Amino acid sequence: MSAILEVNNLKIYYYTPSGVVRAVDGVDFYLRRNESLCVVGESGSGKSTLAMGIAGLIDPPGRVVDGEARFKNELVVSKNSSNVQKYLGKQITLIFQDPRSALNPVVKIGDQITEAIMHNLNLDHERAYKIAYELLKKVEIPDPERVLNSYPHELSGGMAQRVVIATAVSTNPELIIADEPTSALDVTIQSQILKLLKHIVKSQGTSLIFITHDLSVALEICDRTIIMYAGKIVEEGDTKEIFEKPLHPYTTALLSSIPKIGFKTHKLPNIPGEPPQMTNPPKGCRFHPRCPFKFDLCDKLEPSLINVSNSRRVACLLFSSHR
């Protein structure tokens, strides 16, 4: 198995005046080449922090407290070191949630793309400009010349995100980390962008980590999915399998809260209870206060991720021998 990214027991905490936020609290997973992995969770689950952590973009008061991340077997993120910078922009690139704020409002689009190309591929401005032009065509922007000469506020959300994607793809990276790239877009545009991203990723053979709060989006774009809750992974496996047969109660709840068109919906079921306080998460299994299947051990023992099959892992006491 050629894993392009391995994450072991990664812990990223934020030291705030109101307490220590254990945003990512011991996460392990791996990502293969050419594979698309989704990280799904509510806001506050730690999914964005995980993405930023792998990219080495965690700023104080947050820091990596324990664990490591390895890219192509090289240690890039750990408590004491951060080597990922040398890959950023070249083999590892990022796509952000709100394209309008990810782009510098006072610099032309063309310059923002070419600066990345010039720096990372060591080319002069003319060649970089030509490549930028081609890239914009590849992301299906109809008038690349005009867009290259525009400023970010002149573009629609969808166009802006295409520009961001073009930038992320410009150096033919091996790994793209996309942090909720469609959440800030209109629903109609969302699926267009998703399709585009999927197509690009598959055709270039790029590995993808895709962060989202929407399981149905995960189904569309990802081979494998990780479900995160309160800083921990609660379920992991093949996306279709998880969708058809969820194991963790949280996953089940997530799935049932997706409105399905064509089905009679009586009420939109909400997951009862509040998201956990990340400065003081619940003891034992962090989901237990909201879990319909909770039993007496759940608030005492923290479940670890165990292999239920060779492609599935769950962190729930229902599936362990403690039952």
Partner 1 sequence: MTILNYVIRRIFYMLFVIWGIATIVFFITRILPGDPVGAILGPQAPQDVVDKIRREYGFDKPIYVQYIDFLTKIVRGDLGRSIATNRPVIYDIGERFPATFELATSALIIALIIGIPAGIVSALRKDKGIDHALRIVSLFGVSMPVFWLGLMLLLVFYYMLGLLPGPGRLDPYIKEPPRITGLLTIDSLLTGNIDAFFNALSHLILPAFVLGYLSSAYIARVTRASILETLRQDHVKFARSKGLPRNKILTRHIIKPSLIPIVTIIGLVYGWLLEGAVLTETIFGWPGLGSYLTRAMIYMDYDSIVGGVMVVALIYSVINLIVDILYVYIDPRIRYG
Applying CB under 8 A, the residues found at the interface with partner 1 are 52, 55, 57, 85-90, 93-94, 96-98, 101-107, 115-116, 119-120, 151, 153-154, 164, 167
Distance between CA atoms of 139 and 161, rounded to whole angstroms? 10
Q: How far is the CB of 9 from partner 1 (least distance, A)?
A: 24
Token pair belonging to 33: 């080449």
| CA dist 251 → 2, 28, 120, 245, 316 (Å) | 28, 18, 40, 10, 11
Buried b (16+ CB within 10 A) or exposed e, 14-24: beeeeeebbbb
Q: How far is the CB of 47 from partner 1 (least distance, A)?
A: 16
Q: How far is the CB of 209 from partner 1 (least distance, A)?
A: 13
> How many residues comprise the chain?
323
Q: How far is the CB of 251 from partner 1 (least distance, A)?
A: 30
Residue with Cβ nearer partner 1 (24 or 109):
109
| CA dist 23 → 173, 179, 251, 291 (Å) | 27, 16, 19, 21
Residue with Cβ nearer partner 1 (184 or 234):
184
Residue with Cβ nearer partner 1 (57 or 219):
57
Residue with Cβ nearer partner 1 (97 or 251):
97
Residue with Cβ nearer partner 1 (122 or 203):
122
Contact 91, 205 (CB under 8 A): no
Q: How far is the CB of 71 from partner 1 (least distance, A)?
A: 14
Residue with Cβ nearer partner 1 (167 or 182):
167
Residue with Cβ nearer partner 1 (115 or 223):
115
Residue with Cβ nearer partner 1 (34 or 150):
150
Distance between CA atoms of 147 and 264, rounded to whole angstroms? 44
Residue with Cβ nearer partner 1 (43 or 85):
85
Q: How far is the CB of 118 from partner 1 (least distance, A)?
A: 10
Q: How far is the CB of 107 from partner 1 (least distance, A)?
A: 6
Residue 112, CB-side half-sphere exposure with 13 Å CA sphere: 24
Q: How far is the CB of 105 from partner 1 (least distance, A)?
A: 6
The DSSP bridge pattern shows strands 313-314 and 232-238 to be antiparallel
Q: How far is the CB of 8 from partner 1 (least distance, A)?
A: 23
